[in-house]
Amino acid sequence: MVDQKRFALFLATPDSEFVKKEYGGYHNVFVSTFGDEGEHWDSFRVVEGEFPDEKDLDKYDGFVISGSSHDSFENDPWILRLCEIVKKLDEMKKKILGICFGHQIIARVRGGTVGRARKGPELKLTDITIVKDAIKPGSFFGNEIPDSIAILKLHQDEVLVLPESAKVLAYSEKYEVEMFSIEDHLFCIQGHPEYNKEILHEIVDRVLRLGFIKQDFADAAKASMENRGADRKLLETICKNFLKGRVPAN
């Protein structure tokens, strides 16, 4: 019998009422994007101080760190604990997929610098340019490496200085580091491969209502999604290939 693959999701954000009602929580959003039948996925609400025991880390094949409304450069106790766990996983060479806040946390742990985005926040569907020379054909990107990928984005911070040994895999007009990898076990994405248009629309409405953004910013965010969607299937495949160590067939 083949051993069941096990993954752990570190949730750095609480469930919104919308996500709870529509999907039963972010756990289900992530697992429906990155999970496969027959796998076991555990969620830890790290934002609420819930972490696995260190002795249990080895039983997982891979880890995913979610986005967050918190700043990755802050020193809240749960953020420092998350950094400690990521450092340990890095030493164990465990696969970690970092998304948005998670992408920045991995950069921070490996000695990079994270901070407020120099060209301001982003909340929209946008294209990121792939650094094709940095990606080996036959890697988790597959054999057909795209020139660019459309991805949903929501962030006000960024990786300002990459850790040593990190490779930039994608950039955009506003941000120098949209994707990076370190060795074969760390893969980080500033955007949100797990988001769909409905989730981002609801976030736009909510942050507008709370006064965090202006109406024109909200309108531009929705307009970016009007006539096209993110390359969700491609992003899903790349992330799954990475997490599960798959080498795509020719």
Write out pLDDT tens, residues 68-92.
999 999 999 999 999 999 999 999 9
**Average pLDDT of the residues of the chain:** 95
Distance between CA atoms of residues 249 and 235, nearest Å: 17
Residues 116-141, mean pLDDT to the nearest whole number: 93
HEC letters along 158-177: EEEECCCCEEEEEECCCCCC
Convert the pLDDT of each residue in 160-187 to its tens digit. Answer: 999 999 999 999 999 999 999 999 999 9
Predicted confidence at residue 224, as pLDDT, reads 95
Predicted confidence at residue 2, as pLDDT, reads 59
Q: If pLDDT is split at 50, 70 and 90, which confidence band does 136 have? A: confident
Distance between CA atoms of residues 163 and 10, nearest Å: 22
Residue spans per domain, the chain: 6-244
Distance between CA atoms of residues 224 and 24, nearest Å: 27
Residues 17-38, mean pLDDT to the nearest whole number: 96
Indicate whether 1 pLDDT > 90: no
Query: Both tokens of residue 247?
Result: 């080498």
CA 86 from centre of chain: 14
The SS3 of residue 236 is helix
DSSP class of residue 54 equals G
Distance between CA atoms of residues 203 and 201, nearest Å: 5
Question: Which amino acid is present at 122?
Answer: E
Residues 110-133, mean pLDDT to the nearest whole number: 96
Rg of the chain over Cα atoms, rounded to whole angstroms, equals: 17
Phi, psi of 237 (to 5 degrees): -65, -45
Residues 120-124, mean pLDDT to the nearest whole number: 94
Q: Which CATH number fits domain 6-244: 3.40.1190.20, 3.40.50.880, 2.40.50.140, 3.40.50.720?
A: 3.40.50.880
Q: Give yes or no for a contact between 21 and 11, defined as CB atoms under 8 angstroms apart.
A: no
Residues 17-25, mean pLDDT to the nearest whole number: 95
Indicate whether 248 pLDDT > 80: no
The SS3 of residue 32 is helix
Residues 180-198, mean pLDDT to the nearest whole number: 96
Q: What angle do CA 217, 220, 222 make, to 5 degrees?
A: 110
Query: Both tokens of residue 162?
Result: 């990459």
DSSP class of residue 137 equals T
24: nearest Cα among 8, 43, 5: 43
Q: If pLDDT is split at 50, 70 and 90, which confidence band does 138 have? A: confident
Q: What angle do CA 24, 14, 110 make, to 5 degrees?
A: 120
Q: Give yes or no for a contact between 141 and 238, defined as CB atoms under 8 angstroms apart.
A: yes
Indicate whether 250 pLDDT > 70: no
Indicate whether 116 pLDDT > 70: yes
Query: Both tokens of residue 27?
Result: 């756990």
The SS3 of residue 49 is coil
Question: Which amino acid is present at 177?
Answer: V
Predicted confidence at residue 137, as pLDDT, reads 78
Predicted confidence at residue 161, as pLDDT, reads 97
Predicted confidence at residue 93, as pLDDT, reads 97
Catalytic annotation, residues: 100, 192, 194
Predicted confidence at residue 144, as pLDDT, reads 86
